[in-house]
Amino acid sequence: MAFGSITKSAVTRRLLIILVIVEIIFIIIGLMAIEVSHTESFRFHDSFVQTFPHREWRNKTRKQILAWTSFWFTDYWCDMSIKGEPGRCNDRCELTRDKSRVAESDAVVFHFPDVLPWSTLPPRTPDQVWVLYNLEPPPRQIWYTGGTPWRNIYNWTMSYRKDSTIFVRPYHGYEPLSEEEKIKVKQENKNFAEGRYKIAIATVSDCYDDARRYKYTHQLMKYIDIDIYGSCGNKECPQWKPECENIHKKYKFQLAFENAYCKDYITEKYWEAHMRKIIPVVNWKTDPKGLVFPNSYINIWDFPDMKSVAEYMQKVANNDTLYNSYFDWTKEFKMNCHCGCHWCVLCDALFNTTIPAQVVIDPMQWAVSMDTCKMWSVATFLWRIVERLLFDIGLA
Ligand SMILES: *[C@@H]1O[C@H](CO)[C@@H](O)[C@H](O)[C@H]1NC(C)=O
Ligand SMILES: *[C@@H]1O[C@H](CO)[C@@H](O)[C@H](O)[C@H]1NC(C)=O
Ligand SMILES: *[C@@H]1O[C@H](CO)[C@@H](O)[C@H](O)[C@H]1NC(C)=O
Ligand SMILES: *[C@@H]1O[C@H](CO)[C@@H](O)[C@H](O)[C@H]1NC(C)=O
């Protein structure tokens, strides 16, 4: 009797497990189908914005910006004060979170990840600009539901993509040096290779990324020395240890691989290398022109294979003149921080009369389907793990 009931519960358990597996498979297929349908529907549009011949215009000397949605589900936008920004625009723009002031607002800002299908839309006037604000590339997004049901609603996009209405930098940027600064740099005439006797350093904490950094790093390691720190590396040196603080000083190169191939998305990895004055070795698949310092990186995709990359790195490491040429930009430019919520960039654009009246046809398509990387999904997540396993057993 007891024996029989145990068997019964074992059978039930097995059935349950099978059901769960079938369910997971259905979810993966469903998720893949959603991805395919987005790619499909994109074919119907040549462009992601539609422009109108006439733009309504409210002639004001001071514009009002309303942050309509939450910011990552909180009331705290990255920077609620225009005054906090380099102080250029507080006389021309005012920022508010007060929804009752929507009618008098010139711009209404929606943070993409905070727009949900059940979110309420404010009433609008034709002169008002609705701005879709986004700093996260597709793999960092789990939902992005907001874009889908809301077609033909947002007038402008404001994001790190160069094809946005308003291009903003999520990390750093650069500006020209002043004449005095130029003279100072010239006098210093720094040798950036000095004291760097090791080849390359990498810090990797994501072992299953879309860009398969583990694969390319290991291929490079066949030809040159790379010390990998972080949870997926072969070396340990926690940042808090004094001897680890300056560990980068020993190295000629820093592998600054992005973990996915997203259009125009250049993170702190590149900028950090330049703060340390190490040459970053990058894996960019889209043209970074205008986004980064000229001649300031080695891109592995500019070479036919990893062996050639390694040979070139060796060549640069052995020639100080060549090494320093990657820092020629320091004679012209300096890094700056585009911290905060980019309110002043938006403020400038609100006074720009040459931007026509326009609407974004399908924000989801623009942000996800038109990108070169995929949105986070269970399907892509599982696939990354499979790819990694295949690599570990020598099949990929
Ligand atoms: C806006 O108003 C100012 C005066 O307040 C006027 O000088 C200017 O021409 C107006 N601009 C437009 C585009 O109507
Ligand atoms: C080092 O690099 C510079 C600049 O590319 C080049 O002109 C020079 O010939 C190289 N020196 C050697 C020893 O290869
Ligand atoms: C105004 O917007 C246009 C694009 O619509 C851009 O080319 C131009 O540089 C902008 N002007 C200013 C002053 O920012
Ligand atoms: C904003 O988009 C709407 C369509 O939803 C359009 O009627 C309006 O003219 C646009 N306004 C501007 C300033 O682009």
- Atom 10 of ligand 3, residue of closest alpha carbon: 352
Largest Cα–Cα separation, the chain = 93
- Atom 11 of ligand 2, residue of closest alpha carbon: 319
**Do residues 72 and 114 make contact, with C-beta atoms less than 8 angstroms apart?**
yes
Domains in the chain, number: 3
Q: Quick one: 103 and 203 in the same domain?
A: no
The ligand placed nearest to the CA atom of residue 326 is 2
Extract the tokens encoding 131: 């701005």
- State the pLDDT at residue 3: 46
Q: Quick one: 195 and 231 in the same domain?
A: yes
User: Counting atoms of ligand 4 from 1, which one is nearest the CA of 128?
Assistant: 13
In b/e form, how buried is each residue of 253-267, taking b as 16+ CB within 10 angstroms?
bbbbbbbbbbbbbbb
Q: Quick one: 188 and 312 in the same domain?
A: yes
- Atom 6 of ligand 4, residue of closest alpha carbon: 126
Nearest by Cα to 293 from 255, 332, 320: 332
Is ligand 2 within 6 A of the CB of residue 318?
no
| Whole-number percent of the chain with pLDDT over 70 | 86
Instruction: Give the residue numbers spanning the domain of 23.
Output: 2-42+380-392
Cα separation, 199 vs 251, whole angstroms: 5
Residue 310 sits in a domain of what CATH number? 3.40.50.11660
Name the residue of 318, 321, 326, 327 to mutate for ligand 2: max ligand atoms within 8 A of Cβ: 321
Q: Quick one: 217 and 254 in the same domain?
A: yes
- State the pLDDT at residue 193: 94
Q: Quick one: 91 and 19 in the same domain?
A: no
Q: Quick one: 160 and 216 in the same domain?
A: no
Q: Quick one: 69 and 186 in the same domain?
A: no
Name the residue of 354, 355, 358 to mutate for ligand 3: max ligand atoms within 8 A of Cβ: 354
Highest mean pLDDT among 5-19, 78-92, 186-200, 201-215: 186-200
Is ligand 4 within 6 A of the CB of residue 125?
no
Residue 126 has pLDDT above 60, yes or no: yes
Extract the tokens encoding 224: 């040159």
Q: What is the mean predicted confidence (pLDDT) over 296-305?
A: 96
The ligand placed nearest to the CA atom of residue 56 is 4
Strands (E), 242-356: 251-255, 279-282, 298-299, 333-337
Q: Quick one: 145 and 215 in the same domain?
A: no
Q: Quick one: 293 and 305 in the same domain?
A: yes
Q: Is 304 exposed, middle or buried (0-12, 13-18, 19+ CB in 10 A)?
A: exposed
Q: What is the mean predicted confidence (pLDDT) over 190-198?
A: 94
Is ligand 2 within 6 A of the CB of residue 321?
yes
Q: What is the pLDDT of residues 105-122, one digit of tens each?
A: 999 999 988 888 777 889
Q: Quick one: 109 and 236 in the same domain?
A: no
**Is the full-model pTM beyond 0.85?**
no
Nearest by Cα to 126 from 349, 347, 356: 356
| Whole-number percent of the chain with pLDDT over 90 | 41
